Structure 1
């Protein structure tokens, strides 16, 4: 039997999995990812503690991505969406189609029957157990990119942290490089006042266990993010105005503001190719034509900051964004990088010239108490006080 023909419904197993009350639906989104999918699917289907449900969404791939997904998961578990579908929209559609596994699907969550078919007698001790011997089930979504391959114990370690920290609603893994398995990419992220994505890591920093502490962070990447389903639904999912890039920071910021915890679980490891940001594939879900990742990231950063910062900080944040963008644009021109200069400026204008989107996002955030400033991840992983701006 080949890897891609393995059964995916792990709830068919009679024995209860590790951390049985945590019910996980794995959601894999693919977009021209055939180059990385075999390894990603091997990691997903080879988990020591498998997810109870799997679903995938292919967003109009022009390569063999859809075929690879169907061979691995089955045709009925693969959604085929339009090519311009963003990551968040794909997750929403996939999660909706997958539904939530019920107690009928997962019989080990219920009290076992008192009837013993071997001895053909009734076991009275079974009736001493509660109706739900493992506790009330908790539904989770485990999000994966097509270029993010989890290590075999990744889900086990994520659920271990979830089980030990019931206040956590979003938990993320440690990300290492796809081609250099010792290079650290992320172990939690924050956003600088300028909008820059800040990991607190040195360039090409090697993983020697120096960041291996479970700790609260502002955000974790959507590559490997484990998010409680009721919280995800309560927050309205990802902001559709962020089709790609910075959607992770926006969602986690809103989760903080709603009073939920966001943790990084460094013993859970994923290998990430960062295909879009490193221009290994086109970004064509953020406009009518393909756009550079710098422009998409800049627009996402501006939107995230202006949509989620407090009302009191809004004028300062806006002024800093405009001034910083002008200075960086001039720097790119002096450095003879006109393409970067154009992306920097147009990324800012693409957001500011659509004030209706920002106002709608701020109104939605205000309904969830977004003026509460969550703790961010400062330089070298130090937590800042909740009232301070980030980085």
Structure 2
């Protein structure tokens, strides 16, 4: 298990003891992304038996994990956020699935809200899905609407993407794909990785027999303009890198239109910094188009919407905002490939 930490001493102090208690024999590594708080001192003082891997600067989430995992030799990795509270027996079902199913390259547990574990948590919930324009959602979470956990997603199944908050990955697949996209820095990087895994012939799963509790927003709050910028920029790059050739132009044009609508909504609501963040996201994407074109060539995308598990062949924006759909079960389930 590798916990990437940046100025998260308070989370390490709070949650690392539980990780140690429920490690089930796994090796635990804290990779510190050049923290400026007391994280390193805390590890030496309170957790001297936990391995500490020091990175010489803050590489961000994506390249930080790439740098750290390049130094770890293990058949499976768990990318575990520092703000995750693990539970009794959480690790064994994930490891068992990867050991029993060679085609499965990544799996996530059920993600519940730490503040109220009777509800799903934003980042992952009951498994990650996409609509045909690459808007992400989850079983248990549509946009900001969270469902109560009533056992409705206790199954195990393939999904379009698995959360980076708690993700077990097969090392051979990780290395073959080059890990996370470093240019993303943070946000949506796990969706990009999982999409590339599917395109490479691997499978990505959700396992409802394992559960963890996630604080969420530990690095950037939901309303942060920085987060708005990363989400909009990275989603454009995600779609451009991974959409099938026959679908690329149409989906990109529709996505650009909807991004414009989102920007105008921010402006109408007086959220000028978020409006600016959308503009900056688009200029950043266009400015690095040559880089993203190269990444697309390396990813070799080919799976159409109808061929990808966990994809809603409709518009989530329309279903949520125009039709009032607030739960996963209210979507047209026949339009989602499992």
TM-score, length of structure 2 as denominator length:
0.84
CA contact (8 A) 2:20 2:28 kept: no
The whole-number CA distance in structure 1 between the counterparts of 2:203 and 2:47 is: 32
CA contact (8 A) 1:43 1:152 kept: no
In the alignment, the residues of structure 2 paired with residue 89 and residue 66 of structure 1 have an alpha-carbon distance, to the nearest angstrom, of: 20
Structure 1, unaligned runs of 5 or more: 1-25, 101-138, 283-290, 387-391
Give the whole-Å Cα distance in 2 for the aligned partners of 1:377 and 1:193.
Answer: 7
1:215 matches 2:157: yes
5+ residue gaps, structure 2, are 313-327
Contact residue 153 and residue 208 of structure 2 kept, 8 A? yes
Alignment check: 8 A CA contact 1:56 1:78 kept: yes
| Matching of residues 63-74 of structure 1 within 5 Å | 63-71=37-45, 74=48
1:286-337 C-alpha deviation (Å, 9 max, x unpaired): xxxxx62111111111111111001111111221121111111112212222
1:183–1:206 CA contact under 8 A, matched in 2: yes
Identify which of 74, 84, 88 aligns with 1:148: 84
- Displacement of 1:177 in angstroms is 1.0
Counterpart for residue 271 of structure 1: 213
> Does the CA contact (< 8 Å) of 1:298 and 1:347 recur in 2?
yes
- Which of 103, 108, 123 pairs up with 1:167? 103
Query: Which is bigger in relative contact order (C-alpha 8 A, separation at least 6)?
Result: 2
Q: Deviations over 1:255-279 (max 9, x none)?
A: 1111111110112111111124652
Does the aligned pair in 1 maintain the 2:43–2:50 contact within 8 Å? no
1:36 aligns with 2:11: yes
- Aligned residue runs from structure 1 range 224-373, under 5 A: 224-276=166-218, 279=221, 292-366=226-300, 370-373=301-304
1:77 to 40, 51, 61: 51
Between Structure 1 and Structure 2, which shows a larger proportion of helix residues?
2
CA 315–181 in structure 1, closer or farther in 2 if over 3 Å, else same: same
| CA distances 1:328-357 after superposition (whole Å, capped 9, x unpaired) | 111221222222222222222221221112
Q: Which residue of 2 aligns with 1:121?
A: none
Q: Contact conserved, 1:144 with 1:223, CA < 8 A, in 2?
A: yes
